[in-house]
A and B are shown apart, each in its own frame.
Chain A
Amino acid sequence: MTRQGSPPHLAGLLLGLTLARVVALTAVSVALAKPSSLQPSAPIAQSEEECLSCHGDPELAMTLPSGERLSLYIDPAVFEISVHTPLGIVCRSCHSEILGYPHPDLDYATHRELSRALYMACQRCHSDNYDRTLDSMHAQAAAAGNLEAPICSDCHATHDIVPPDQPRALVSQTCGQCHTRIFEAYAESVHGTALIAEDNPDVPVCTDCHGVHNIQDPRTALFRVETPELCAGCHADPQLMGRYNLSADVYSLYSLSWHGVDVSVYRANWPTIWHESAVCTDCHGVHDIRRTGDPASHVNPANLLTTCRRCHPEAGPNWAGAWTGHNRVSLDRTPFVFYTQAFYASFAPFVLWASGIYVFLQIIRATVARVRRSLR
């Protein structure tokens, strides 16, 4: 069965695990063109062994018309880590055009062209996720002619496909392969440090905000107007915020603010019309969000005025004091609002009630007087 030395432990494992099936299914064809019908592992091992008899040679390579050297070596170790191996998905499940030896000619000028053709195999099983990628801005970039726009294998790898989120930091590191500077900013952020240093399960990785396969352009008016909702997904959750001693009122208080009301109106009526009212990321930063107490935070009291001035360039030094900082009204933080609120919670209602009662008494008295006159 084996024509060449293969990783003994892998082959042994696969064989050992499926000994009974080997006996039962030796007659079954190794043709596995339909990956949806996952076949037992005995022929898999056979298939892999066959392929590796050539592709296990580290020197095996060819030169593409572009002059690029295309290595054809498959490290047998990848079968150990690939998520596909235990599922019985083997070489020919994806490389279905290979029906035997000699192989059909490779008709690709460049390595990228080859990748963009071969990754189409993914959709045979992962059609839902593949369809989602068609709506993504990566697909738009590709359609616009950017062949570097990522395809499945750019994020998930080719043969050594591992769970994309173990650890979760892997997700953001994957995006960071291309989005280098954004990843660097994120890695320094309150979310990124907690993710990378602690493997914190609560902080967002890239895909939590941007979506996984149908990643949309985050620079649109629509994405902008949805930003507060996006942040509120976590920051309005009292349980989640409670773990970090953060207020879960920030979103509801923002919604009452000038910025927040404006954004709500645009969101309800004109979500695709660009608006300038501040959303969370305008003040807190997009990827470089830090703790308010962090001196590098855009909303640190020392930096707040600078942040305000990005939209309100004329603002004077007192301006930042107009911001109530997502806090409930309190005498300490917002004395002016506190006293105004106290006035309208006590004196104004008192005056109105007194006026209303007075008029009510007048109506009664006038009615009685009229009745008395008519009875006289």
Chain B
Amino acid sequence: MSAGSRSTPTTPVDQVRTERTFPRFTRAQRWEHGLLILTFLVLLLTGLVQKYRLTGLSQQILSTPERLELIQTIHRLAAVVLTLEALYHVGQGLALLARRRLSGAIFLSWQDIRDAVQMLRYLLFLTDRRPRYGKYSFEQKYTYWFMVFGLGIMIVTGFILWFPILFTRVFPGGIIPAAKLAHSTEAIVGLIFVVIWHVYHVHAERLNLSIFTGRLNEDEMRTYHALEYERLSQQPSEDPERGEAE
């Protein structure tokens, strides 16, 4: 951080504190996330039961052939919902980008590489300065793009597995076993990623509820999105809590 350190004290206790919030996600984006949680969980549960169908628990759940069919139907219904959501997301994003109504903040840039290197240096005690992020930190972009590619793999392979005969009319038959392997493995990769990365950054490091509330408060903005804060508020983002980082 640059000059002017410690010029902004914390909010005095004897003053009425007016909390200023910054919009982060639109209502539609928050609904999208809700839908994603729902379909992700349904797909995960109904999928794992099928992937590990020889285990005792699976066999209790799949106690009859009809149950297995039911589980598969639920899986496919959720998959259709998720696919429609993904198509909406991509379509909406592209449409807004084309009309210049959406910033390209979510796209990867060289700055993300520099931020990652800086962050690694910070984590290895080589520096005390953390990178200052814009609207999305490189960690958040990593989450987003990991999910985009993971979901892409899951959706494509899932439909190949759902309609194998249709797909092999065009593509070689070898894609079927490959799709099965990819679908089955990518699910676990995605699950591990969510457990490690998402849970830590959004639930453990801090409880970031902005995807539900749609906004961040001033402290959060200054701490985690300093550049975005400065851009929006035209004020320096100096954070006394992070004095040690100076």
Interface of B is mostly: helix
Is A337 touching B178 in the complex (CB atoms < 8 A)? yes
- In the complex the two chains form, is A366's CB within 8 Å of B205's CB? yes
Q: Are B182 and A340 in contact (CB under 8 A)?
A: yes
What residue of chain A has the Cβ atom nearest to residue B122's Cβ?
A: A365
Known contacts: A318-B171, A340-B178, A348-B189. The answer to whether A372 contacts B62 by CB under 8 A is no
Given contacts A321-B172, A359-B197, A373-B244, contact A337 B181 (CB under 8 A): yes
Contacts of A136 in B (CB 8 A): none
Could you say which interface size class chain A belongs to? 35 or more
Q: Is A369 an interface residue (CB 8 A)?
A: yes
Q: Does B104 contact A (CB under 8 A)?
A: no
A362 part of interface (Cβ distance < 8 Å): yes
> With A352-B196, A358-B123 in contact, do A270 and B64 touch (Cβ < 8 Å)?
yes
A351 to B185, CA, bound (A): 14
In the complex, the answer to whether A318 meets B205 with C-beta atoms within 8 Å is no
For B59, what are the chain A residues with a Cβ–Cβ distance below 8 Å? 265, 268-269
The reply to whether the CB of A242 lies closer than 8 angstroms to some CB of chain B is no
The answer, yes or no, to whether B74 is at the interface (CB within 8 Å) is: no
Residues of A within 8 A of B205 (CB): 362, 366
Stretch at the interface among A11-19, A138-146, A292-300, A309-317: A309-317
Complex alpha-carbon distance, A358 and B123, angstroms = 8
Q: Is the CB of B168 within 8 A of A319?
A: yes
**B59, B65, B171 — which one has the most chain A CB atoms within 10 A of its CB?**
B65
- Interface residue range, chain B: 35 or more
With contact pairs A321-B172, A365-B123 given, residues A269 and B62 touching in the complex (Cβ less than 8 Å)? yes
Closest residue on chain A to residue B68 by CB atoms: A265
What is the CB-to-nearest-CB distance from B14 to chain A, in angstroms, rounded to a whole number? 24
For residue A364, which residues in chain B have a CB less than 8 angstroms away from its CB?
123
Chain A CB within 8 A of B164 CB: yes
B53 lies within 8 A of A265 (CB): yes
Decide: B65 and A336 in contact? CB cutoff 8 A.
Answer: no
The answer, among B54, B172, B201, for a CB contact under 8 Å with A268, is B54
Interface centre among B63, B174, B196, B200 (most CB of A within 10 A): B174
In the complex, what distance in Å separates the CA atom of A222 from the CA atom of B192?
39
Known contacts A270-B65, A344-B185, A358-B123, A336 near B196 by CB under 8 Å: no
Task: Given the known inter-chain contacts A320-B173, A336-B172, please indicate yes or no for A315 contacting B165, CB distance below 8 A.
Answer: yes
Do residues A352 and B165 form an inter-chain contact, with CB atoms below 8 A? no
A334 and B62 form a contact (CB under 8 A): no
B35 interface residue, CB < 8 Å from A?
no
Closest CB in chain A relative to B238 CB, distance in Å: 17
Interface 0/1 of B48-70, CB less than 8 Å to A? 00000110000100111100100
B-side contacts of A264, CB under 8 Å: 54
Min Cβ gap B7→A in Å is: 20
Q: From residue A283, how far is it (CB to closest CB) to chain B in Å?
A: 15
Question: A319 is contacted by which of B120, B173, B201 (Cβ under 8 Å)?
Answer: B173
Find chain B residues with CB under 8 A from A321 CB.
Answer: 168, 172-174
Residues of A within 8 A of B17 (CB): none
**Once the chains bind, are A336 and B123 in contact (CB under 8 Å)?**
no
B152 at the interface (CB under 8 A from A): no
A to B CB contacts below 8 Å, 27 in the list? A258-B180, A265-B54, A265-B68, A266-B65, A269-B59, A269-B63, A270-B65, A315-B168, A316-B168, A318-B168, A320-B173, A321-B173, A322-B164, A322-B174, A322-B176, A334-B174, A336-B174, A336-B175, A341-B181, A355-B193, A359-B196, A359-B197, A362-B123, A362-B205, A364-B123, A366-B205, A372-B244
Those 8 A-B pairs whose CB atoms lie nearest each other, nearest first? A321-B173, A336-B178, A322-B173, A322-B176, A336-B174, A361-B123, A318-B168, A340-B178
